[in-house]
Structure 1
Amino acid sequence: MQYLPNIIFAIALLAGIGFFVMNIRKLSRNIKLGKNVNRTDRKPERLKNMIKIALGQSKMVRRPLSGFLHIIVYVGFIIINIEVLEIIIDGLFGTHRIFHGILGDAFYGFLIGTFEILAALVFVAVIIFWLRRNVSKIKRFLSKEMKGWPKNDGNNILYFEMVLMTLFLVMNATDTIFQTGGVGNTISQFIAPLFDGLSPETNHIIERACWWVHILGILVFLNYLYYSKHLHILLAFPNTYFANLNPKGQFTNLESVTNEVKLMMDPDADPYATPAEGTEEVVPEKFGASDVADLNWVQLMNAYTCTECGRCTSSCPANLTGKELSPRNIMMKTRDRLEEVGKNIDANKGTFVDDGKQLLNDYITPEELWACTSCNACVEECPVNIDPLSIIMDMRRYLVMEESAAPQELNMMMTNIENNGAPWQYNQQDRLNWANEE
């Protein structure tokens, strides 16, 4: 019975990490459903972007208040969780604050004291975030896509952080030996008097309860990430590294279109020829995207990385003028569809079975796609370099090139360009008449 707590801890730790690994494998599988795209060029520039944007939070601080608060939570939560290493060792081997004896009073006191200060700052920052989301009524948190689960998810993560920081400080405050030593109790010493009237045994029970709930809460939090917008904690780094480095507004040519043009220009090619004996018939590649499998893997990773902060939507001119488009919602719907496809594959033993749905129309409407002005404001504003515009443009390509479903105004413009060499309905011979006007 002496080692029962250690055994229970080891089982909980293995279960938590095992479930996390299973979800990460599922996440990787879903992202790899996308088409291949080469993002291995310009490695120094990519590494610089990752360090500057993901690690350095450079785009977050463009909005100073929320950026500063986010840095507190980001730095605090990461540094405080260094202490989880000590908890794991203590839990597995039955020790108590094992690093204290190894690091000595001075350095250990500095670490734990820093952790406590950061925990208090994180708690305050999270309270402010909660007030901004639920009391201040900031417009970007009130959009229709932020009802139900997205709103609850944002609050759930704040509650998680409040509870974990509180447990950490109460655990230290009720650790009688730690408080008596006076090493590192920078914040908990002010909480400890709340428990002065309790017996040492009761204090020990509270300390052990906080210790257990704290580490189990971290394991639950770790596995909650997969189902939450806070998956960006893990994906922000690869997402910024593999982001598109081409100038904003530069669109790539579709390889499928290039191949078609080459075929048309080859005088020896026969587009109606049957495949040679012994070769497989090549199915023409789809122009554009109508479902998640038509997007590339970086775009699918973008969908999982979306923080749902709404900076893209709050900067979108189409959205600001009352149009249906919300770049944030484009990413959220792409992720929802990708999750649905993933569950379909899981339910059918690794094979996707057509469910009669697709991203276009069932999740994202043509009205949303055509409202986009392709100004790149959403791409510029995103704090983790997500590119909603690339998804919009790929789906527009599908509408135009596969379904001939462009708006009438656009069809008229393209017809005029084809016939008159200009978007306007003027004869080419009359295009310079304006220069002769007095």
Structure 2
Amino acid sequence: MNYLPNIIFVVALILGLGYFAKNAKKLIRNIKLGHDIDVSDNKSQRWKNMAMIALGQSKMVKRPIAGFFHIIVYIGFIVINIEVLEIIIDGVFGTHRIFSSIGSLYGILIGIFEILAVLVFIAVIIFWIRRNILKLQRFWKPEMTAWPKNDANYILYFEMILMTLFLVMNATDIHFQNMNSGNVISQFIAPFFKNFSEGTLHFIERSAWWLHILGILVFLNYLYFSKHLHILLAFPNTFYGSLKPKGEFDNMQSVTNEVRLMIDPNIDPFAAQPESTEAPAKFGASDVQDLNWLQLLNAYTCTECGRCTSECPANQTGKKLSPRKIMMDTRDRLEEVGKNIDLNKGEFKNDGRQLLDDYITREELWACTSCNACVEACPVSINPLSIIMEMRRYLVMEQSAAPVELNNMMTNIENNGAPWPYNQMDRLNWKNE
């Protein structure tokens, strides 16, 4: 028996999975560069959110057309890849359709896979048309430069090719077609190959089989470099997503204590405070290492779908802010920091760059109205606003670099107890006018 194909298959499998594991380790390392955050509360609600949002696609269907076709691709791609288990067993042990021994159930499963393959192919074509012919506005924003735009198309081409290979593999498999069970779609493709010899059919079937499994391994490793990393990260991202009501901001306890001392002089300023209330070394965030790990996970999870930007009132009125760009910039800077660490043997060396100014401009940050529209729109529970607010906090508390209007308001609050430039004694004079 010739074991060479089995050896080649095992080597390809090990290399593919090994490279994926290496990149997964790097991904986890980069995310852990962020500060720690406690997300251990209310586990039942977190499991529910993950089941409804990531698994159930509940936020995707708020836009029915895109949501419907996304669910087809999502279910089809996941279910069809169940067959990968059979391919791996066949590849390692040199068997052929080892699960066919289970009888009619096998035919039912393959039949479902073939129907889903056609539906996925149709859905992917529709997505391609929406992006490249109809040119939906949210796919053509300024941040959607060559790579983000091409990346989305590469994924669509990948899926078309993988679905085609799956159906061709089935259509040219003489043994499978003779079973006449499960070939609900491939039986109509098989006639295109009727004039081919048995040897040629076997060659085409084996070629499609090899290209299909190698394509899946390539796709798996491409995920790390692609926006489609959300296929894997949507689950932890929705599980760890914030459970606080939208609009409730995080207060720094150390700052709260200072304000309380100013308001209530009876508080003992020398009273022992818990460690968690100590002032941090740095207020807010100017670079990715100043963010927490959940915000960095958000950046890697971003699908670049643009729903956040299309809902943003600042963006709609022509301002520079794009919540999608905030997440893309955060991820790009995090990747840059990760590569810096790799080059310097596990240690980050100051490169003279940071997230603020080099990636995200102050104009973008101050354009935000903090309305939470982007947070509500995101189909995988990403929170661009939290990053914006942390960077604003840095500008105000570390650099005193708030816009003039905001500085005037804060001065008025400090002096007059209100945002308006009127003495407290004159505040009700309008009643007498």
Q: So what's the TM-score if we normalise by structure 1? A: 0.94
Counterpart of 2:143 in 1: which secondary structure? helix
CA distance in 2, matches of 1:122, 1:308: 20
Question: Quick check: 1:312–1:327 contact (8 Å CA) kept in 2?
Answer: yes
Partner of 2:39: 39
1:51 & 1:211 partners in 2: Cα distance? Answer: 33
- Residues 1:200 and 2:198 are matched in the alignment: yes
1:259 offset after TM fit, Å?
Answer: 6.6
Task: Show CA shifts across 1:340-390 (max 9, x none).
Answer: 000000000000000001100000000000000000000000000000000
* Contact 1:257-1:287 within 8 A present in 2 as well: no
Give the match for residue 364 of structure 1: 360
1:286 aligns with 2:278: no
Q: CA RMSD in A?
A: 1.6
Give the conservation status (yes or no) of the 8 Å contact 2:173–2:202: yes
Q: In 2, Cα distance between the equivalents of 1:263 and 1:88?
A: 66
Deviation at 1:257, TM superposition (A): 2.9
Residue equivalent to 1:276:
none
Contact 1:256 1:286 in 2 (8 A): no
Q: Is the 8 A contact 2:254 2:279 kept in 1?
A: no
Counterpart in 2 of 1:325? Answer: 321
**Separation in 1, partners of 2:76, 2:186:** 16
Equivalent residues, number: 424
Answer whether contact 1:312 1:379 (CA < 8 A) is retained: yes
The CA distance in 2 between the partners of 1:424 and 1:33, in whole Å, is 42
Partner of 1:340: 336
Give deviations 1:153-179, integer Å, cap 9, x for gaps: 000000000000000000000001111
- In structure 2, distance between residues paired with 1:12 and 1:418: 67
Q: In the TM superposition, what is the alpha-carbon distance from 1:430 to its structure 2 partner?
A: 1.5
User: After superposition, what is the alpha-carbon deviation per residue over 1:190-243, rounded to whole angstroms, capped at 9, x for unaligned?
Assistant: 100000011010000000000000000000000000000000000000000000
Compute the displacement of 1:434 (Å). Answer: 2.4
The one-letter code sitting in structure 2 at the alignment partner of 1:408 is V
Tell me how far apart the structure 2 counterparts of residues 33 and 261 of structure 1 sit (CA, whole Å): 31
Map of 1:274 onto structure 2: none
Write out aligned runs for 1:383-394 (5 A). 383-394=379-390
Q: CA deviation at 1:268?
A: 4.0
Alignment match, 1:24: 24
**Are 1:35 and 1:295, in contact at CA under 8 Å, matched by a contact in 2?**
yes
Residue type of the alignment partner of 2:165: L
Unmatched segments (≥5 aa) in structure 2: 273-277
Q: Name the SS of the counterpart of 2:20 in structure 1.
A: helix
Q: Within 2, Cα distance between the matches of 1:283 and 1:140?
A: 41
Could you tell me which residue of structure 1 aligns to residue 95 of structure 2? 95
1:405 correspondence with 2:396:
no
Within 1, Cα distance between the matches of 2:280 and 2:88?
54
Task: Give the % identical residues.
Answer: 73
The residue aligned with 1:4 is: 4
Q: Is the 8 A contact 1:256 1:287 kept in 2?
A: no
Q: Which moved more, 1:400-409 or 1:256-265?
A: 256-265
8 Å Cα contact 2:90-2:98 kept in structure 1: yes
- Whichever residue aligns with residue 246 of structure 2, its letter is K
Structure 1 residues 393 and 13, CA gap change in structure 2 (3 angstroms)? same
